[in-house]
Structure 1
Amino acid sequence: MEADEVLAGLDPEQREVAEATRGPVCVLAGAGTGKTRAITHRIAYAVHTGVVAPQRVLAVTFTTRAAGELRGRLRQLGAPGVQARTFHAAAYKQLHYFWPKVVGGEPPRLVESKLALVAEAARLCRLSFGRTELRDAAAEIEWAKVTQTRPGDYAAAAAKAGRTPPIEAVDMARVHDAYERLRRDRNLIDFEGMLELTAAIFTEHQEVANQFRDQYRHFVVDEYQDVNPLQKLLLDTWLGEREDLCVVGDPNQTIYSFTGASPSYLLSFTVEHPDAKVIKLVRDYRSTPQVVRLANGVLAQARGEARAHRLELVAQRSDGPTPVFTEHDDEVAEAEAVAKRIRELLDEGVPAREIAVLFRINAQSEPYEQAFADHGVPYVVKGAERFFERAEVRQAVVLLRGAARSDTGEPLVRAVRDVLAAAGLTDQPPEGRGAARERWESLAALAQLAEDVAIDRPSAGLREFVTELEERAGSQHAPTLEGVTLATLHTAKGLEWDAVFLTGLVEGTLPIIYAEKSPDQIEEERRLLYVGVTRAREFLTLSWALARSPGGRKGRRRSRFLDGLAPQSAGPPRVDRSARRPVSSGPQPCRVCGRPLTAAIERKLGRCESCPIDYDEDLLERMKHWRVGVSKRQKVPAYVVFTDATLQAIAERAPLSEADLAAIPGVGAVKLERYGSDVLALCRGEEPAADLVD
């Protein structure tokens, strides 16, 4: 890939980021504005223009999934040697490399969970903790360590920060002190200690710092609004006197201050680096103007410092449905209404994996799990058991790895499905929920991932697919399960869906009741709602219930954050059923050989991948040309209009009516209304109306 190709397709602000190859650079990037695209293209452009060698770049982010995504995009841009890691993964590697050189022997053993050690420390202090208190005490120790607060200073620091300790502050300090003594006596380190120890080695051993700084000369830090004091300390030791640093963040998405994260480093970047170049990304490519308008409205009510630093998003997509506000008698009725509406979206062609229900705390998921089970809506709970640690997934990976050793060159999707069939994947899912259904969904997710890989890399075989799985397992980058996502607002950050339901929006839940102690905490709760709103691409529903249980007192008040945004009276949403796709009674048969189709790409094409292809190649090329024009006018990627697989399915079937077009998977009610007339004109051999006026 040439340097000019790296810049192709970037908007003016993204291009400005990419061309700012030397630091210091501060990118303020609003939700959905393509920040990952901007920073990966910046790194790739710097590599292709010779500014820096790929092995001299260290890109740091906050989750293993995000780091894996960065590495994947950089490979596609021709910069595969770049290191993209979390703070902890980078520190772990550095500590294990330098420890034998400057200390000798094996480094302290890493403790991945504090719970057992905290429980023992509590017993030494003659305290008894329940499970919840144990987790809260471990979290409090983590906060103290990332803010560099020693046990003797804990009480004063907690009071100053407005924190409510899970136990008396003096006892919390005693437990923390006992925890540290136990840890040191057993030569253990926790994640915070790992960062602290790595920074100390760099500070105390100049030769180590010099060797590292000779290796890495170009730094990028994503989600900089979430950096805590300990991470900032480590970053400063990495940099030394260098200023080749690019930070990216959004102060409007600061939602982790309870862990010690602070937006102050992002907001004061130009104070620390007076010569820094500041670039703002505000063009929102993710959401419709209606969703963007509501998101801007949420932040328009912000107070204090948050209001001064908000980014006003500018929508780039065409119009979509207006966000819906609904009020319900109780939480059961709210969950029931959400389940019914999701069932309608599924029937209209919206994939289950493109729908999410978001709430403030995990305990709110229970009524939705029950309602979804009652309505036959598949779902997954984000934050549950890690995907690659599931027994059926481990078994499937072993089988795929064995098959890859004797790969015969069979098409990837078919080869993977043959292997997964031996592991228990069937054409149809088991009835109901339970372990059998969850096992089937795990295997189906692997099959879907194979289809995605085959579309992105048509030449990929089993070996490449196994490599993809191993890289994803290492970064916990799980494939998307075919089910509606149930998640908290905190865990939803960084994700997006076609349809989002924000539920439980009542006082005491959002904002959470304990946030009332501080105006800053209230503002963080407001930003949580903003994060939730900006997860939606097209459909957005916001709901609340007046009572918790059926028949209960209707004393709840909807969230103050909806004041001025929601109508005074909000009844149930009106459902447009005019373009709903009929519900299939069973697996779709192949239109050539009649075999039941279970793979998504085969269902979209309406035939087995191996069956003969019969389509008008000229029609397919004309539709692709039309799609390029539409994507440019609407300023969205081409696949947002229609994927290649959907265009091929249209070319093969050559529909001549709206009903025929609507029956093709990938053509939902919204796309039928938006593009139907143009596509049907192309199928008739005519020019689309949009092209005639251009």
Structure 2
Amino acid sequence: MDSSLEIIKSEIEKRHQGDVKQLAVVFDTNNRLLVEAPAGYGKTNTMVSKIAYMLATNEIPYPKRLLALTFSVNAAYKIKKDVSLKVPELLKDSNLNIKISDKIFVSNYHGFCRRILKKYGYLLHSNLLNIDNLQSIDDSKPRNTMRDVTGLSYENAMFLSEYNTSLKELKYDFVKDNIIKYNQIIIDELISREVIPYNAILTLTIKLFNDYPKILSFYQNFFTSILVDEYQDTNTLSYWILNKLITEKTNVLLLGDSLQRIYGFIGAIPNLLNLSAEKFNLQKIELDKNYRFAQNPSMLLLDKNIRSNAENPKNPQILEEANIEFEILEDQNEESLYVINKAIKLIREDPEAKVAILVKQRGANITRIIDTFNLNNVPFFYGLYSDEDPIYTKFHRTCLFEFIEILKVNNRVSKKMGKSHQLKIKSLYEENNSPLIEAISNLLSLFWERIFIDFAFVSNEEKIILVKDTFENYGLKQYVEFVNSSIIISTVHGAKGLEWDYVIIPDMEKDSFPNFWGLCNGCSSNSDCILEIKDENESKFLEELSVFYVAVTRGRKQVYFSASKKQLDNSGNYRVKNSSCFMNLKGINKSTKAQQSTVVKNK
């Protein structure tokens, strides 16, 4: 081993402080690895060190590249930032002269495919040469598609919608058997009119690879190593792209956590980690040290026990119960007071802290909590939106449309452009001062601000792709971490990938968390909500447990739970409800810590 490599290896060992599993990933000579990486287990550091070691050992020889992909645009740019800043630190004391940008290409799936179409898409249609200026549309709703595409028949609009639905509902055969028809309609009817749907960026890349094998062969040989982060979120089309790119010679590193798969409702493939281990002949390594909760034994044990329930739902191996603080209140009025008092108390005791109140979905119960905050003039950030929320999605599509219009005049991404874009969006929504629009507008401002802080180092072309991908992926929610508010009220899906000091999870009742459609509908444990896992409900249980686990692991210091004995329905009437079956999971011991009210106002 030469001296440079010894220096790098020593630096990596020092950084990982004897973590056997992390070092196994970094130094393993097997070129096919699957890394099970739960939240807080040091995945990012492991990934950065692995890339540094691959560069040091010339596993990415010039002019070849490592392709790093992820589902979310924000996650992709975090990887880009981490790699750009931290890999050079690991290599600085060696005599290696490596330019990171010449070795690694980082993107989300859509950003990667957009690059390919920008270069070779003209072979499918000349308008793809100018893909950055094509207007992006949502083809999931027939009437909206017909509104956006003049002359499109209702029959074709219905087919595009059906294809979207099939992707979300994992109807693999329909997606595979009809991709040719889908692409033909896209090319003939939409690209020709200078519009492009979100899914088509992937389907047209698949068509390009199928129709032009030499292009596919070029990318297979160019990207000799492929790394995929957040692999559990991969959907059918993304997986199809990977299958095209990965050959017998490709180095493969997949990182993910099967218990954080919460995008099943938009098409994330179930059990993908295990399926891919077999498909690509991967050696599996499970990271096993939780650094996020290392100084917090109760949270460490809660994390472990939830994962035990996921690993063996019918008979989890529990050695010690985790104590949780679970407050059961008489009704939603009392619960809303508990939540606001708890949040205030936490901030008074820890003034620099941020508190997140996370819920499964909007409804009458969370509305009562919000009313209590407003009534008592306690400020908070409103983050109750999801990728399926029509107002949230329309705001992003409006942002995308106006950004593309600006690009037609000036394609230089600058602070001036950002201000111009924000002013335009503000003028379009000046008569809408709803909490949701106010919140997303705040996120838009933060997004433009962070572009020139976090991504000042990327090229203008990459900034354009970042902006377009963020709006196309409904990604403004990821900028909640930068809001200037001590209290955030958010959905769990909106909180994915983020962290706060403390998390409060209210509405832990039957039909709320898990909700009626998620697990409670048809459950045979209605009388006591002590869930018995059987073959017929195991899949739904694991899906809902994933959302619960993501909610719990958003808290760095502590998580608190609450429920009401009487739950509000959508008509504002109270219904007696059991506490959630998740509060009865094996390995959870509930304790109550009553507190005096510090806020007395309520409806």
Output the TM-score relative to the length of structure 2. 0.69
Q: Secondary structure of 1:500's partner?
A: strand
Q: Distance in 2 between matches of 1:333 and 1:114?
A: 44
CA distance in structure 1 between the partners assigned to 2:345 and 2:552 by the alignment: 21
Higher RCO (Cα < 8 Å, 6 or more apart): 2
> Gaps spanning 5+ residues in structure 1: where?
130-134, 154-175, 315-320, 404-432, 578-694
Residue 378 of structure 1: aligned partner:
380
* Equivalent in 91, 95, 111 of residue 89 of structure 1: 111
**AA at the equivalent of 2:286:** K
1:241 to 1:261, Cα distance in 2 relative to 1, 3 A: same
Task: Judge conservation of contact 2:35–2:286 (CA < 8 Å) in 1.
Answer: yes
1:70 to 79, 99, 105: 79
Call closer, same or farther: CA 1:23–1:509 in 2, change over 3 Å: same
Question: Which segments of 5 or more consecutive residues in structure 2 lack a partner in the other structure?
Answer: 89-99, 386-391, 407-411, 418-433, 471-477, 523-535, 599-603
The whole-number CA distance in structure 2 between the counterparts of 1:97 and 1:298 is: 46
2:302 to 294, 315, 319: 294
Q: 1:186 to 1:7 in 2, by over 3 A?
A: farther
Note the C-alpha offset of 1:114: 2.2
The more displaced of 283-292 and 63-72 is 283-292
Name the CA distance, whole Å, in 2 between partners of 1:349 and 1:13.
34
Deviation at 1:302, TM superposition (A): 4.3
Classify 1:60/1:560 alpha carbon distance in 2 versus 1 (closer, same or farther; 3 Å): same
Residue 112 (structure 1) aligns with: 137
2:492 is the counterpart of 1:489:
yes
* Map of 1:357 onto structure 2: 357
Measured in 2, the distance between the counterparts of 1:147 and 1:243 equals 25
User: 1:481 Cα shift?
Assistant: 0.4
CA deviations on 1:99-131 (whole Å, 9 max, x unpaired) are 22x4452238564322554556799779x99xx
Aligned pair in 2 of structure 1 residues 195, 51: CA closer, same or farther (>3 Å)?
same
**Which structure is larger by alpha-carbon Rg, 1 or 2?**
1
Looking at structure 2, the residues matched to 565 and 486 of structure 1 have their Cα atoms a distance apart, in angstroms, of: 28
Q: In the alignment, is the contact (CA less than 8 A) between 2:383 and 2:439 conserved in 1?
A: no
Deviation string for 1:591-641 (max 9, x for gaps)?
Answer: xxxxxxxxxxxxxxxxxxxxxxxxxxxxxxxxxxxxxxxxxxxxxxxxxxx
Q: 1:539 is matched by which residue type in structure 2? A: Q
**Cα 1:549/1:200, change in 2 over 3 Å:** closer
The 10-residue stretch of structure 1 (360-369 or 38-47) with the greater mean CA deviation from structure 2: 360-369
Distance 2:577 2:169 in 1: 36
Equivalent runs, 1:279-428 vs 2, <5 Å = 279-287=285-293, 288-302=296-310, 323-351=324-352, 354-363=354-363, 365-373=366-374, 374-381=376-383, 383=385, 401=415
Residue 535 of structure 1 pairs with residue 544 of structure 2: no
Residues 527-550 of structure 1 show CA distances to partners (whole Å, capped at 9, x for unaligned) of 211221122111210111222349
Contact 1:328–1:546 (CA under 8 A) maintained in structure 2: yes
What's 1:3 paired with?
A: 8
SS in 2 for 1:286: coil
The alignment partner of 1:240 has SS state of coil
Question: Aligned with 2:75: secondary structure?
Answer: helix
Partner Cα separation in structure 1 for residue 180 and residue 121 of structure 2: 25
Aligned to 2:330, what secondary structure does the other structure show? Answer: strand
SS at match of 2:512: coil
Counterpart in the other structure of 1:217: 224
Instruction: Find the residue that maps to 1:88 and give its secondary structure.
Output: helix
Per the alignment, residue 556 of structure 1 pairs with: 577
User: How much does 1:144 deviate?
Assistant: 5.4
**Deviations 1:531-572 (CA, angstroms, capped at 9, x unpaired):** 211221112101112223499545111111211556577453
Could you tell me how far apart the structure 2 residues matched to 1:270 and 1:50 are?
25
Distance 1:300 1:334, change over 3 A: same
CA distance in 1, matches of 2:464, 2:175: 40
Aligned counterpart for 2:66 among listed residues 51, 57, 63: 57
Moved more, 21-30 or 541-550: 541-550
2-structure distance, mates of 1:466, 1:207: 28
Residue 251 of structure 2 corresponds to residue 244 of structure 1 = yes
CA distance in 2, matches of 1:183, 1:259: 21
Matches within 5 A, 1:489-528: 489-514=492-517, 515=519, 516=521, 519=537, 520-528=539-547
TM-score (norm 1): 0.61
Q: Hey, what's the Cα distance between the residues in 1 that align with 2:77 and 2:206?
A: 24
**Partner letter of residue 172 of structure 2?**
T
Q: Is the 8 A contact 2:383 2:494 kept in 1?
A: no
Q: C-alpha displacement at 1:59, in angstroms?
A: 0.4
One-letter amino acid of the structure 2 residue matched with residue 492 of structure 1: A
After TM superposition, give the deviation of residue 295 of structure 1 in Å: 2.6
- Tell me the amino acid that sits aligned with residue 88 of structure 1: H
The CA distance in 2 between the partners of 1:282 and 1:573, in whole Å, is 36
Q: What is the CA distance between 1:203 and its match in structure 2? A: 2.8
How far has the Cα of 1:35 moved from its partner?
1.1
Counterpart-to-counterpart distance in 2, 1:286 and 1:252: 17
Q: Which moved more, 1:188-197 or 1:8-17?
A: 188-197
Superposed displacement of residue 265, structure 1:
3.0
- Alignment check: 8 A CA contact 2:170 2:269 kept: no
Contact 1:356/1:485 (CA < 8 Å) preserved in 2?
yes
For 2:180 and 2:143, locate their aligned partners in 1 and report how far apart those are by CA, in whole Å: 10
User: For the residues of structure 2 that align with 1:207 and 1:349, how far apart are their CA atoms?
Assistant: 60
Give the equivalent residue in structure 2 for 1:187: 190
RMSD between aligned residues: 4.8
Give the aligned residue type for 1:356: A
Measured after TM superposition, the shift of residue 372 of structure 1 is: 2.6
> Residues 95-244 of structure 1 correspond to what in structure 2 (within 5 A)?
95-100=117-122, 102-103=123-124, 105-107=126-128, 111-115=136-140, 117-119=142-144, 140-143=165-168, 147-149=172-174, 183=186, 185-188=188-191, 189-244=196-251
Q: Structure 2: which amino acid aligns with 1:99?
A: G
Shift of 1:360: 0.7
- Asked whether the equivalents of residues 95 and 198 of structure 1 are also in contact (C-alpha less than 8 Å), the reply is yes
SS in 1 for 2:565: strand
Q: Closer, same or farther in 2 for the Cα pair 1:265/1:302, shift >3 Å?
A: closer
Take 2:446 and 2:146, find their aligned partners in 1: how far apart are those partners? 42
Whether contact under 8 Å (2:163, 2:175) holds in the other structure is: no
Is 1:268 matched up with 2:275? yes
What's the secondary structure of 2:357's corresponding residue? strand
**Residue 473 and residue 332 in structure 1: after superposition, are their counterparts in 2 closer, same or farther (change >3 A)?**
farther
Deviations 1:454-489 (A, max 9, x none): xx9xxx9xx779999989756646361022222222
1:31 aligned to 32, 39, 42, which one?
39
- CA shift, 1:444, in A, is 9.9
